[in-house]
């Protein structure tokens, strides 16, 4: 059974001080040993869209933004998730990120670790699994980042 990437992801209360008017989201770098060539750009774009749509703040490219978000993909690893008859039945792709929220108004920086697991059939190659999972990876990891940065929970 696969639980790691199923079901809708709900958002808790968005918690951004009212004095924060602008947010800059830097490109999310891919520093993982294995690099999916689409992941960093798509995560950055999706996070920018989500922040613009859900926070009612202006997303800007200015270094004078009230919040500056940066981060990098730190891990992109495959491991065995389930064994059946002494063979792998399912594999697990773990995507991990380190994110930093810099509050320029308070000159304060906070780091966050984000990680999500995505299970797939052991009969698939990593390339095949990525083709099937990439949209779910982008959505779920973006939701996880957003919640870690902006939610009271």
Asked if residue 83 belongs to a domain, the reply is no
Dihedral of the alpha carbons of 34, 30, 142, 36, in degrees to the nearest 10: -40
Please classify residue 87 by burial: count the beta carbons closer than 10 Å to its beta carbon, then call 0-12 exposed, 13-18 middle and 19+ buried.
exposed
Q: Is residue 26 part of a domain?
A: yes
Look at residue 148 in the predicted model and tell me its pLDDT.
Answer: 93
Residue 141 falls inside a structural domain: yes
* Higher-confidence position of 86 and 126: 126
Whether 120 maps to a domain, the answer reads no
Q: What are phi and psi of 72, to 5 degrees?
A: -150, 150
Using pLDDT thresholds of 50, 70 and 90, give the confidence band for residue 35: very high
Inside any domain, residue 50: yes
Report how far residue 126's alpha carbon sits from residue 73's, in angstroms, rounded to the nearest whole number.
18
> Is there a domain that residue 8 lies in?
no
Put simply, whether the predicted model's pTM sits higher than 0.95 gets the answer no
Q: Which of 102, 13, 104 is nearest to 55 (CA)?
A: 13
The closest of 98, 97, 96, 103 to 24, measured between CA atoms, is 103
Q: Is residue 14 part of a domain?
A: no
Q: Residue 53 sits in which domain range?
A: 22-74+95-115+136-150
DSSP summary character for residue 9:
P
Query: Within 13 Å, how many C-alpha atoms sit on residue 13's CB side?
Result: 5
Average pLDDT in the chain:
89
**DSSP helix/strand/coil, 27:** coil
Give the CATH number of the domain where residue 104 resides: 3.40.50
Number of domains in the chain: 1
**How far is the CA of 133 from the CAs of 3, 121, 140, in angstroms?**
14, 11, 10
- Supply the pLDDT for residue 21: 96
Asked, for residue 110, whether it belongs to a domain, the answer is yes
């Amino acid at each position: 059974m696969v639980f790691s990437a199923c079901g809708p992801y709900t958002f808790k209360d968005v918690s951004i001080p009212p004095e924060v008017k602008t947010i800059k989201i830097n490109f999310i770098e891919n520093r993982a040993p294995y690099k999916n060539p689409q992941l960093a750009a798509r995560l950055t774009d999706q996070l920018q869209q989500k922040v613009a749509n859900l926070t009612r703040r202006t997303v800007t490219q200015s270094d004078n933004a009230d919040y500056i978000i940066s981060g990098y993909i730190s891990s992109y690893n495959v491991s065995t998730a389930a064994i059946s008859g002494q063979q792998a039945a399912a594999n697990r792709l773990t995507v991990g990120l380190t994110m930093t929220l810099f509050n320029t108004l308070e000159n304060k920086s906070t780091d966050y670790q984000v990680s999500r697991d995505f299970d797939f059939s052991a009969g698939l190659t990593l390339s095949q699994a990525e083709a099937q999972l990439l949209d779910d990876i982008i959505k779920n990891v973006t939701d996880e980042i957003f919640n870690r940065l902006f939610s009271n929970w």
